[in-house]
Amino acid sequence: MDGVDCFWRTKQQQEIDWIEEQNGIISAYEFKWNKKGKIKIPKKFIETYDANIKIIDRENFIDFVTLSK
């Protein structure tokens, strides 16, 4: 299935805020308003998926929301 957008969460409540799959490439996004806030990408996600992981914060969110897809 191409062009899927969703989030990821385990039964233990570990989560990734936003995931996009395009042409077989997975991109995972974690949203934090405070750039200095604690950012933890779940180890299970990293072990399971070969994804591009990006942190979106108040300094770069405009690029994220205006990016042409």
| C-alpha–C-alpha distance, residues 42 and 65, integer Å | 24
pTM across the whole model: 0.77
Q: For 24-38, how does the pLDDT look when each residue is reduced to its tens digit (9 = 90+)? A: 889 999 999 887 777
Residue 46 confidence class, pLDDT cut points 50, 70, 90: confident
pLDDT class of 65 with cuts at 50, 70, 90: confident
Mean pLDDT, to the nearest integer, of 41-58?
89
Residue (of 49, 57, 4, 64) closest to 31 by Cα position:
57
Contact 12, 43 (CB under 8 A): no
Averaged pLDDT for residues 38-57: 88
Q: Quick check: 30 and 45 in contact, CB under 8 A?
A: no
